[in-house]
A and B are shown apart, each in its own frame.
Chain A
Amino acid sequence: MTRLIEIEGAAVHQGAVVALRDVDFHIDRGEIVTVVGPNGSGKSTLMKTVIGALKPISGRVARAPGLRIGYVPQSLQIDPTLPITVARFLGLPRRLPRKTTCAVLEQAGVPDLADRQMAALSGGQFQRVLLARAMLEKPDLLILDEATQGLDQPGSAAFYRQIEEIRQQEGCAVLMVSHELHVVMAASDRVICLNGHVCCHGTPEIVASAPEYRALFGSGTGGALALYRHDHDHSHDSEGNCLHDHDCGHEDRHNHTHAHGVAVKHEEAH
């Protein structure tokens, strides 16, 4: 198995704040890895470190030589003064022949959009175009940073189905950050729980049945696992968010207990 990216013992600062410390992370060819964690846990910082936008102040980041990354950002606000058609956007950073553009849009399930302004697209169309552009880089690694934010439930389900298809066709590794833990759990090879450091990680199935996992997360509330498996033993607040006390013990070095509410927008499948 080829290692695409390996991060060892990295500490990353966001401004003056230590956003990540002691992070070991790797992703191999063809894997789907999901990063979960509460707000401010350093998920986006980890993504930025992987793509090279942030440099760790200590530790090591190694990339496979010639690694190609396709990146779908969390959101993309295009300034209203910047006119850009879908076709032109897809041709960044390398221009495409018209035929390729049309074929790509067809494949992405949004034909006939080529001459539309990016700003005029619906949320779902916009995400599909972003994904299509990322795939044009012929990436070894596709990175999705909460890419379904702003999509409704059917929209994000369709989006994830498309990513599954792409993975099967192209064989690229997928690294995603998500709050939609139930969707993610089904598709992922590995799950990494982040909270300033790596709280815990492993394959979903093994992790799900491992007693160590519950020990790692603390036994108080069943931890985030309850979310993945749709065990509805968590409390809901008035907005339908699930609230958890999430205890992350991490060997002796991190012998601390930090309670943080993991507020997750969570549509329940009935």
Chain B
Amino acid sequence: MDLLDSFMMRAMLAGIGVMIAAAPLGCFVVWRRMAYFGDATAHAAILGVAIALGFEISIFVGVLGMSLAMAVTVSTLTGRGYAMDTLLGVVSHSALAFGLVAVSFLQGVRIDLMAYLFGDILAVSRGDLAVIWGGALLVLALVCWRWSALLMSTLNPDMAYASGIDPKREQLVLTVALAVVVAVAIKVVGVVLIAALLIVPAASARPLVKTPETMAVLAAMIGVASVLGGLQGALVLDTPAGPSIVCVAAMIFLAVSVGGGVRGVLRGK
């Protein structure tokens, strides 16, 4: 019997694939304070779903295109004198609202809408797996390749320029990577919770590490643990899988934070 015949095995592999890309990328999202940016990109995906269904093209392509368009738009508007959190708040939720309205025009999709909002990881097909791992490995390779340049640009753009690195190009790398992660993660946790996959594992890893690299690796490990724990929990407790994954990640974050607090108090004494 083929290993991939089991829906549970496919779900685990899908989750792990998304996580190994989302976690290192999520570190940059956290360091550069782009959390809202990730949200906006993810929310635009639902509009991409509507377009893909309407024009009968692949969901992956529709979502990737729309997320990319949103990410580039927001990225371009950055630093042009707009109040970023307000602008992102407007753009992000508008994209979600327009997406929901657009989907409602399409017949027969209404039942499926939950799958796009909250993911449907247990229904991942072999084809989905190929797309997820393809996208994830692409993002991972991109982030590894640009790692030092991204780190320099994050620390100080002028220092990056002086070293011959163009921070604008690195920003574009992150933007593209973010759009790809959104496109592959929509099946796993849905548009509403994608930002959580980026941010929660990275935030959980932060108090435990001393260098950017260990933070990325630990975030990926925490992400994978969340996927396995969440899927297991969903199976046992009969809960929705995507949100369960995020719940486990949040509990790890809580445990790390409380643990850190207790250690701090003990050391203080």
Classify the secondary structure of B's interface with A: helix
- The CA of A28 and the CA of B82, in the complex, are separated in Å by 40
- A211 close to B (CB within 8 Å): no
Interface of A is mostly: loop
Q: How many B residues, CB 8 Å from partner?
A: 29
Contact B203 A81 (CB under 8 A): yes
Residue of B nearest to A47 (CB): B158
Contact B203 A92 (CB under 8 A): no
CA of A51 to CA of B165, assembled, Å = 11
Which B residue sits closest to A54, measured CB to CB?
Answer: B161
Alpha-carbon distance between A89 and B156 when the two chains are bound, in angstroms: 12
Interface string of B19-40 (1 = CB under 8 A from A): 0000000000011110000000
Determine if B152 and A52 form an interchain contact, defined as CB atoms under 8 angstroms apart.
no
Task: Check if B250 is an interface residue, CB within 8 A of chain A.
Answer: no
Partner of A84, one of B165, B203, B211: B211
Chain A residues lying within 8 Å of B213, measured Cβ to Cβ, are 88
Q: Is B81 on the interface with A (CB-CB < 8 A)?
A: yes
Interface pair B159/A73, CB less than 8 Å apart: yes
Instruction: Write out the residue numbers on chain A whose beta carbons fall within 8 Å of the beta carbon of B181.
Output: none
A51–B148 Cα gap in the complex (Å)?
19
Bound: A60/B159 CA distance, A: 22
- The reply to whether A143 and B211 contact each other, CB–CB distance below 8 Å, is no
Interface contact A69-B33, CB-CB below 8 Å: no
With contacts A73-B156, A73-B158 taken as known, whether A82 is within 8 angstroms of B163 at the C-beta atoms is no
Known A15-B81, A76-B155; contact A81-B162, beta-carbon cutoff 8 A: no
Are B161 and A53 closer than 8 Å at their CB atoms? yes
Q: B151 in the interface, Cβ–Cβ < 8 Å? A: yes
Contact with A along B192-229 (1 / 0, CB 8 A): 00000000001100100111111100000000000000
CB-CB contacts of B69-86 with A at 8 A, as 1s and 0s? 000000000000100000
**Within 8 Å CB of B155, what residues of A?**
76, 78, 82, 84, 89, 92
Name the contact of A71 in the complex, choosing from B158, B212, B215 (C-beta under 8 A): B158
Task: Tell me whether A93 and B206 are in contact (CB under 8 A).
Answer: no
Among the interface residues A53, A76, A94, which one has the most CB atoms of the partner chain B within 10 A?
Answer: A53
**B149 CB within 8 Å of chain A:** yes
At the interface, yes or no: A83 with Cβ under 8 Å from chain B? yes
Asked if A221 is at the interface (CB within 8 A of a chain B CB), the reply is no
A residues near B202, Cβ cutoff 8 Å: 81
Give every chain B residue within 8 A of A156 (Cβ-Cβ).
none
A83 x B203 contact (CB < 8 A): no
Residue of A nearest to B211 (CB): A88
**Partner of B162 from A69, A76, A89, A95 at Cβ < 8 Å:** A69
Q: Measured between C-beta atoms, what is the minimum distance from B10 to chain A in Å?
A: 34
Encode contact with A along B149-174: 1 for CB under 8 Å, 0 otherwise. 10110111111011101000000000
Contact with B along A93-117 (1 / 0, CB 8 A): 1110000000000000000000101
B201 to chain A, nearest CB (A): 13
Task: Please give, as numbers and ranges, the residues of chain A lying within 8 Å of B211 by CB-CB distance.
Answer: 83-85, 88
B-side residues, CB < 8 A to A, are 30-33, 81, 148-149, 151-152, 154-159, 161-163, 165, 202-203, 206, 209-215
9 more A-B residue pairs beyond the given contacts A70-B162, A82-B31, A93-B148, with a C-beta to C-beta distance below 8 A: A15-B81, A51-B161, A79-B32, A79-B154, A81-B202, A84-B155, A84-B211, A92-B148, A143-B162
| 22 cross-chain CB contacts under 8 A | A47-B158, A48-B161, A53-B161, A71-B158, A71-B159, A73-B159, A76-B156, A78-B155, A82-B154, A82-B155, A83-B212, A83-B214, A84-B155, A84-B211, A92-B151, A92-B152, A92-B155, A93-B148, A93-B152, A95-B148, A143-B162, A145-B158
